[in-house]
A and B are shown apart, each in its own frame.
Chain A
């Protein structure tokens, strides 16, 4: 690569001689060499406000302290981020931030992850000398949108939320009203904070001024643990953190999964995620989770073990395979991870060759899409299914309409449904399906929650939800990303790949994968699109599959 010369500047930060790319701010430069400069209003995804003044640093030969979020590193600069003068200024700025703050930490949901608490411990640590009354603000604990609660007196007016609504969601609901220390963040008269990305303002609010209505008062954040994952709600595959509470199981009505938070990935979602994705996790701890395998006859439903359920399933499937006038069909879902899809393909082609593979990306969700993050395809792994050869792009894979025709023609003797609930979809997609399903002699349903299909199925196999198992999904860009297991599945529930492996065994095959990672290793060997990939290579931020590269 010639032509464009890379220019750098040399500067001394806290006594260390460093080299930085030209144009980098002091704050970012310091971060890159491991020096954290405290800040409230600065956010790397937003424009520079320069308002909180927490990030003041001293630059030799410049008389005033400068805000490091805005000032770029100049060649030959000697910068002090932690000398006496800077520390004093920082402490002063922190004291100012707390002058009108109510200090109601014991009843504030932000406690434990609050910028004021954190910086007080690291940069403040002074005794209060404030005798004055605090300025009274108008709104305390007022809902300003579907997901967001506003508490004006906790607000430090960093304007991050306002800038988010101007620059990222471009919906401009929030503004700063009044002047001086009477200033208040609020929605403009007659509007509500209801843009599709509204809850991001909660993430970027450094204090407890904007809180997530859904998460509020559910559990203290210090009880939460975190696992890296990928949002399962659409084909963008936003990088997320799954925050879950196992320490205090009586909190939050026993729900383990407390909230989803976006995780930075510059290639996928930057710092953000949409509200649809953020609140899609409820099904994981819902009452209607399928906890044990079920066997249904015309008059009874009984709980059973995987062993019995799978043996019964294998028996049923084999008998249809042996029949000359009936076919087996498998309805594949792009909600499944690559590992499960790969094993599904292998098990059925090994053990029940001739099985009809049917693919559908239908979901009950509205096909919302925009220029920011949301994609029309509401499945996390449509691209992965395609790369494994399970999408209708492959000549021998049917579409939903083909399946329906075959069912109505009486050709389908057994249907293995993965996650899909076609009869439960909106009218235009589900018309005629309820009756169609009833015409099939053997319906096996594998999924996470009870639904119209599971209510009809003769055999129901519970599957682990995305937060309960490990697996990779491939987003619309072809980026393979890992969903880590946050917590163990409910009861004895198995991950999808293990169900497939066990079904394969019940059908007479021999599969001995010990983990999803092992399945992926074989997948990478056998599927050209995934060649060269491994969990290690994919890592935290994902890796584009070779087969997906243009």
Chain B
């Protein structure tokens, strides 16, 4: 299947981040229609439901269904929050969207805000994305001057104000309730659920939190019709999404494919295949927290939510990390463990203590002082964390450990018994990832 050009067409248009260029390419017509024709919230939500658009931040929850959770009879403000805290290792699609099509995101945000009657939209952007921050800041200014944001959007009488907020660099703030805590001015700690944000979110008001890419598809869904979007993919996995491919491929980058496309095609056709003609060894399919796939699994699986769930992994954020035969899986896992223990917010015990413990064991193994019992200990510790934490970070830290050790056990066994011999010959420095 070829690439589709829904969001990604803007990647190829020069100066597509400017309002005039965006409008010359049909921009803001969907939001204008929804606002000036005064679409009822139900109509917007039903349209998005029909498109089968799912949350593309990683969880894959149906977007229209989520919007429908906001209570209609709520008195007081409701909020739309845009999660632009893209921090999952291997994931960089949202950055491309914000750099190249900031107005597409804003247009989607306007439509989503209208669907839940939110007058304020908060965009929480990753602190390190200073360039995207500048671009978005400018785009918000332009859209405001054009009358597309603010008190009277498109002259419709609706109010949609957009506030841009920079995070301070904590991975955990990409978790939606931690993001809300941070936005409220508190330490970025996830909150206990229930209540879910749709009922009690930002400042205790009903809140919808959507990923950048998810919202960017909304104008396209309205413009081209939900049936068209849904028809792009396969059953229950409608539409397309952006895949970020990184690692040992010849052409790393962001590629837009319909859901259900073969992973093989993405790696070997669009991303140009494995570098230097080497063999594929493993793929992390959707950001570093998703269970790793062996080359055999990657060759057969299709890129949709259900197919990946079917083989015990996840489509996640669509960030593929491709690893060739020279990759030292022990080093890779050690690096991943370091990341999660560094980023664990420390609120709940299993994640706070477990991620650090696993990291220190992995570091010991990498340094050649592994014990034969370490691998089973690691599996057990990962199991002790999994499912027992407040937020999904604990699971995100546990899943790589379980999948790496189970699928590449021989390599780990060899390292534990041979010590640091293997470490010296590793061509891939784990710090590269």
A interface, CB within 8 angstroms of B: 48-54, 56, 64-65, 70, 89, 92-93, 95-97, 99-100, 129-133, 135, 156-157, 176, 178-183
Contacts and interface: CB of A to CB of B under 8 A. Distances in A.
A135 B355 CA distance: 12
Given A65-B387, A92-B384, A181 B341 contact: yes
Name the residue in B353, B355, B371, B373 with the highest tally of chain A Cβ atoms < 10 Å from its Cβ: B353
Interface of B: 170, 172, 187, 192, 341-350, 352-357, 360-361, 364, 371, 373, 377, 384, 387-390
Given A129-B377, A181-B341, A181-B352, A176 B346 contact: yes
Contact of A50 (B345, B352, B390): B390
Nearest to B349: A96
A50 B352 CA distance: 14
7 contacts: A50-B348, A64-B388, A92-B350, A96-B350, A133-B360, A180-B346, A183-B352
Contacts of B350: 53, 92-93, 96
Contact of B356 (A65, A97, A181): A181
Given A178-B346, A179-B343, A179-B345, A157 B352 contact: yes
Nearest to B390: A50
Given A53-B389, A89-B388, 14 more contacts: A51-B390, A53-B388, A64-B388, A65-B387, A93-B350, A96-B349, A99-B357, A132-B360, A179-B172, A179-B345, A180-B342, A180-B346, A180-B355, A181-B352
B388 A92 contact: yes
A124 to B, nearest CB: 13
A65 B389 CA distance: 10
**Which secondary structure dominates chain A's binding surface?**
loop
Contacts of A129: 373, 377
B348 A51 contact: yes
Contact of B355 (A89, A176, A181): A181
B343 A180 contact: yes
Contacts of B352: 96, 157, 180-181, 183
A133 B342 CA distance: 16
Contact of B344 (A64, A95, A179): A179
Contacts of A99: 353-354, 356-357
Contacts of B187: 176
Contacts of A51: 347-349, 390
Nearest to A64: B387
B345 A52 contact: no
A80 to B, nearest CB: 16
A86 to B, nearest CB: 11
A40 to B, nearest CB: 8
B263 to A, nearest CB: 28
Contacts of A181: 341, 344, 346, 352-353, 355-356
A181 B397 CA distance: 14
A179 B170 contact: yes
A311 B243 CA distance: 101
Contacts of B170: 179
A129 B358 CA distance: 12
Contact of B353 (A50, A65, A97, A176): A97
A70 B354 CA distance: 22
Contacts of B347: 49, 51
Contacts of A50: 192, 348, 390
B345 A93 contact: no
A96 to B, nearest CB: 4
Contact of B349 (A97, A133, A178): A97
A54 B346 CA distance: 15
A157 B348 CA distance: 8
Nearest to A159: B347
A89 B342 CA distance: 24
Contacts of B342: 179-180
B349 A180 contact: no
